[in-house]
């Protein structure tokens, strides 16, 4: 019973924190110097400088994980927020780096799920909402970098979830990992 009470209080506090952050930013309560958003930062594995002041790091998780080989992974976003409901005003960032979880069929306690997160069963809705949010907070002519691994879900199914089209991309060293670059249209187009 106490676990259920703790979770409900924890959930309430997280929701209140996100709401207050959103309210504060929309009221102009602070000057955002960051121009880059990583809405799915996880352990910030792709970042050369994991504390780069030009970026805002968000994730829906906040936890310290010890993997099966003893390595410790720390998911410590600056703002705890879900990539499907970001607490930022429209057109806030010049660059968004979107590297969402790409696994659906994995154990909740498996190391891949723990390190990178996992998608819900209705992953299509989740990824579509993520694209919409990323483009909402992106300035006109801003750039979205999208990373996807086709281990379980083919890239063409994911790209069908947004009406935006990538400009160009790169296939990583593994033939299942893709990096793609999108540019939001200007308001004049």
Contact between 54 and 35 (Cβ < 8 Å): yes
Strand-pairing partners, residue 97, are: 145
Q: What is the mean pLDDT of the chain?
A: 83
Task: State the residue for tokens 């099966």.
Answer: 68
- Among 1-10, 61-70, 126-135, whose mean pLDDT is lowest? 1-10
Residues 117-171 pLDDT 10s: 778 889 999 999 999 999 999 999 999 999 999 989 999 999 999 999 999 998 6
| Mean pLDDT for the stretch of residues 97-106 | 89
Domain 32-183: assigned CATH number: 3.40.50.150
- Among 17-31, 109-123, 162-176, whose mean pLDDT is lowest? 17-31
* Exposed/middle/buried for residue 30 (C-beta within 10 Å: 0-12, 13-18, 19+): exposed
The model scores a pTM over 0.85: no
- pLDDT (0 to 100) of residue 7: 44
- pLDDT (0 to 100) of residue 39: 98
Strands (E), 76-137: 79-80, 93-98
- pLDDT (0 to 100) of residue 118: 78
| Mean pLDDT for the stretch of residues 28-41 | 77
- Among 23-27, 42-46, 164-168, whose mean pLDDT is lowest? 23-27
- pLDDT (0 to 100) of residue 171: 66
Confidence tier at 30 by pLDDT (50, 70, 90): very low
H/E segment holding residue 3 = helix 2-26
């Amino acid at each position: 019973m106490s676990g259920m009470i703790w979770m409900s209080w924890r959930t309430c506090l997280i929701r209140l924190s996100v709401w207050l952050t959103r309210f504060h930013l929309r009221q102009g309560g602070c000057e955002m110097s960051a121009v880059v958003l990583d809405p799915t930062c996880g352990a910030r594995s792709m970042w050369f400088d994991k504390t780069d002041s030009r970026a805002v790091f968000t994730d829906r998780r906040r936890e310290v994980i010890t993997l099966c080989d003893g390595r410790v992974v720390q998911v410590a976003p600056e703002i705890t927020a879900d990539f499907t409901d970001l607490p930022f005003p429209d057109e806030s960032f010049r660059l968004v780096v979107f590297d969402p979880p790409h696994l659906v069929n994995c154990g909740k306690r498996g190391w891949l799920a723990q390190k990178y997160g996992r998608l819900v069963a209705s992953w299509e809705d989740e990824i579509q909402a993520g694209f919409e949010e990323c483009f909402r907070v992106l300035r006109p002519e801003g750039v979205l970098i999208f990373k996807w691994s086709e281990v379980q879900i083919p890239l063409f199914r994911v790209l069908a979830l947004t009406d935006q089209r990538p400009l160009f991309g790169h296939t990583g060293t593994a033939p299942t990992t893709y990096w793609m670059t999108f540019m939001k249209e200007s308001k004049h187009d």
